[in-house]
Structure 1
Amino acid sequence: MRAYLLLPLLGLLTACSAPPELQTPTPELPSAWQVATDAAELSPSWLVGLNDSALSELVDEAVLRNPSLAAQRQQWLAAQQRVHSTGADRYPQLSLELGSRRQEGAERSDSLELSLGWTLDIWGKLSADQREAELNRAAAEAAYVEQREALAASLAQNWFALQEARLLLELYSQRRDNLQQNLEIIESGYRQGLNEALDLYLARNNLHAEAARVEQQQQSLSELQRELERQLGRYPSAMLTTAAALPLIETVIPAGQPADILTRRPDLQQQWLALLAADAALASAHRDRFPSLSLNAAYGGSSDALSDLLSSGNLTWSLGASLVQSLFDAGRKAAVQEQALALRREQEQRWLDALFSAFAEVENALSARQSLQARYALYLKAEQNALNAETLAFEQYQHGLENYTTVLEAQRRSLDAQTSVINLRRQLLDNRIELHRALGGRFRASSPNQSQQTQELDTP
């Protein structure tokens, strides 16, 4: 009865600590993207659209074996277990204690007690703690999905970068062989007195520089191979091979509505869930300033002899209740609440920053797609003209109509045009992957290992 009489007094002591009122700003979203695009539904799998079975197999291997992704999966598992541990605080706790004590001038005393304790969640603090843990678990799951999608996209881009490196290696090797043939023609003409020594030196310099470019490109190729093998969880032995071909995919990617990415992008979902978790943490910190009510029950006893502990005369039971309210803690709990409030506001700004960054990524990818397509069409024409000019310049040089510097300039322009075409084909593929990722597309509609990973996370 006395405990119940104290409840109004303790309620008055906590009435002054009203929860802070927070409003999450909702940014205005445009109804359409600035760059005109198809508003149809986004494809459920960008990996299938690339039509590369070898790449698809490598992505599946990376999802299973990549160490960084495996570490993120363990964070998800840890967050799942925290939900269980936090939820257990809402239930009664049963414990058994066996003790022995000896005091000076007295015989040893043994004790045995079975105790039951239960902290009632009268203010909802424990519920807020459990909600925070559940939201953090969902945020960890979204973080895992985001890292898995990022890994697949990075692997695909490195795969096409490897193909680009092979095409460039073939181009440089072919150019080196052509320069070798040109040098032989110039050396023959020099021996016949038809060509000058300067032309011979320039031709030799051009050949040696191209041979050095081939060696440098070979090193770049090996580094890309090792990077791909590292992502796959393999030893980086530079043994991974691929065909020297970059597919040209001309199908248009539908972008849908700007608001669609709020539910499709896992990184935005992670930030939003983290904001909700911070809100739950703030609620828990506020409710921690209220009094706590606990119920306790115990059954046991003590005896000078261990064998007499279980006798009926030594065992007694007890029931009790306690109501605890902090009267003075030097502002600790108030500071904890203010800290939770600041962290909640910080997470709010992080979510807004992630949201606008996501919109910027889509707009940049859409505008880049148009620019890349236009540049690629122009460089195709430039490549053909440069190849014709290179052939014509050397023929005219052989007939004495042009000097060798004109040949060198034509060769340089031809190499630049061919290199640009290869580079733009790779950039078009990169842009395709980036646009899918920015729009919240997945590398596969349903990952074949997702159910297995979910079962692993649900296993204690």
Structure 2
Amino acid sequence: MNKYYFLPLVLFIAGCTVGPDYKRPATELPVEWNSYEKMDMNVSKETKKWWESFNDSALSGLINKGVENNFDIKIAMSQVDAMIGEAESVDSNFYPQIGVGGASTRSQNTASMLSNSQKGKLYTNNVFGLSLSSFEIDFFGKWRRASEAAKATILQSKFVQSQVQQTLTTDICLSYFKLRFLDDTFDKVNQLAVYQREMLALSKAKFDQGTATDIEVSQSKRELLKINDQMSDLKAQIKTVENHLLMLTGGVPGEKVSRGLSISELYSKRISIPAGLPSDLLARRPDILAAEQALIASNANIGFVRADYFPSFSLTGALGQQSLDLSTILKQPQRFYNFGASVYMPLFDGGYIKGKENEAIAYKQQNVYAYKKTILSALEEVDNLLFLHSTTQDKIQSLELQEKKVFEETRLINQRYVGGIMPYSFLLQSSVTSLTTSENLVNEKYAFLSNQTLLIKALGGGF
């Protein structure tokens, strides 16, 4: 016989709640994450709407529209409402269930064993009143544990909703940054096509003069075809990103997607990240908060199951009036009432309760592992993104220096071309090099903004 069968009297007197009280699992966390020299320590307190620091009305408008119209958020909100309804249903067990009803029955004796005076006689009974269905008194905290689990599930669904909203905000920002990057790239490739057409015209002129071969003309044509193909690919990518943004914000394909700041302008308004980040920032991550609430619910469920080891006390009752004639049930009734109490305690169930208890304990252990795994995954994600944040800044600084040197070279070549010292082909080639360097710089700025957006999400929406 299980050890819990020997405790009912003690718990009955004390009115305790069975099952383990929740304690947060011990998890080893670093006091401070790695520091990176390139990060600015002068950081103001982050707000929930961190994207507003860019001052880009188009980006803010897309996010506001997404939060209002996105179907994933609506689904998550409905899930919260469902969990609230389930919790209300569980809490109803703390109160007696009282109903009102009535019945009218009519019977006739036809058995041959009855006397002739009783044979074939009709009997009518009309009843009306209140009834108390079986009401279980929560001596051992069964329904208190169930309520605890239900409320934890509500919080879990709310944190999941926050996670969905964070993911949506991140997706919109990433898509918007990609769209502006593609726009910028398309403009630069279009300018590159202008230069290449001039190179082709110059090659043809040289060929006509006999100073260039047909191979040079063919190479120029091939380069121009490559650029035209690249422009077609960029148009397709832009259309795909626009449609994805429309889907995220509840729009339909074909609607216009607003544009605001360029990638370089957005980068100039980037958010500064502090050099040392305390690990307690992870407490704001909705996935960690949701994992802990799932753990709390599974812990409470152990107590709910264990309560079945102990006696259950129930009350029943009825109050009303009855009459042989329906028309007189309110005028000349016979009043009645009854009240009852029952107790039930399992003695042998073939291991059913023990099996349910083992199941509940196993589910709790699963949630412990899931909670710890979520924390470790968060630490890994943040540390990786912090490193990318630093290295991307190094690349940007290097490309900015390269861009300055290329611009200076282009300026000098232009002066020599105007002075008749340098041929026009040199100027065109220098312009192409300058444009390519600028394109690489924009690409790194786009990568920086994307990594930073993911880092902010990894930190729970701020720092």
| TM-score tier after normalising by the smaller chain length | 0.7 to 0.9
Tell me if the contact between 1:42 and 1:254 (Cα under 8 Å) persists in the aligned partners. no
Query: One-letter code of the match for 1:225?
Result: E
In the other structure, the counterpart of 1:62 is 66
Tell me if the contact between 2:195 and 2:428 (Cα under 8 Å) persists in the aligned partners. no
In the other structure, the counterpart of 2:47 is 44
In the other structure, the counterpart of 1:458 is none
Shift in CA distance, 435/164, structure 1 to aligned 2, threshold 3 Å: same
Deviation at 1:420, TM superposition (A): 2.3
1:179 aligns to 2:183 (yes or no)? no
Tell me if the contact between 1:41 and 1:255 (Cα under 8 Å) persists in the aligned partners. no
In the other structure, the counterpart of 2:114 is none
Matches within 5 A, 1:13-412: 25-36=25-36, 38=41, 42-45=45-48, 46-101=50-105, 105=109, 109-117=125-133, 118-243=135-260, 245-246=262-263, 247-248=266-267, 249=269, 252-254=272-274, 257-300=277-320, 305-310=325-330, 313-383=333-403
Tell me if the contact between 2:197 and 2:224 (Cα under 8 Å) persists in the aligned partners. yes
Q: Distance in 2 between matches of 1:190 and 1:348?
A: 76
Give unpaired runs (5+ residues) of structure 1: 1-7, 444-460
Q: Distance in 1 between matches of 2:450 and 2:318?
A: 68
Deviation at 1:86, TM superposition (A): 1.4
Deviation at 1:311, TM superposition (A): 5.7
Q: Distance in 2 between matches of 1:161 and 1:70?
A: 26
Tell me if the contact between 1:34 and 1:363 (Cα under 8 Å) persists in the aligned partners. yes
**What does the per-residue CA deviation read over 1:321-356, in whole Å, with 9 as the maximum and x for residues that have no partner?**
011123333322222221111111111111111111
Give the stretch that moved more between structures: 219-228 or 32-41: 32-41
Q: Distance in 2 between matches of 1:428 and 1:310?
A: 82
Tell me if the contact between 1:115 and 1:299 (Cα under 8 Å) persists in the aligned partners. yes
Shift in CA distance, 380/123, structure 1 to aligned 2, threshold 3 Å: same
What is the aligned residue count? 428
What SS does structure 2 have at the residue aligned with 1:330? coil
Shift in CA distance, 324/412, structure 1 to aligned 2, threshold 3 Å: farther
Give unpaired runs (5+ residues) of structure 2: 13-17, 110-121
Deviation at 1:97, TM superposition (A): 2.9
Give the stretch that moved more between structures: 431-440 or 168-177: 431-440
**What does the per-residue CA deviation read over 1:292-325, in whole Å, with 9 as the maximum and x for residues that have no partner?**
1011111235555433544655431101001112
Query: One-letter code of the match for 2:128?
Result: L
Q: Distance in 2 between matches of 1:230 and 1:139?
A: 27
What SS does structure 2 have at the residue aligned with 1:441? coil
Shift in CA distance, 92/20, structure 1 to aligned 2, threshold 3 Å: closer
Q: Distance in 1 between matches of 2:7 and 2:402?
A: 83
Deviation at 1:384, TM superposition (A): 5.1
Tell me if the contact between 2:54 and 2:270 (Cα under 8 Å) persists in the aligned partners. no
**What does the per-residue CA deviation read over 1:172-191, in whole Å, with 9 as the maximum and x for residues that have no partner?**
11111111111111112212
CA RMSD in angstroms comes to 3.5
Q: Distance in 1 between matches of 2:213 and 2:162?
A: 66
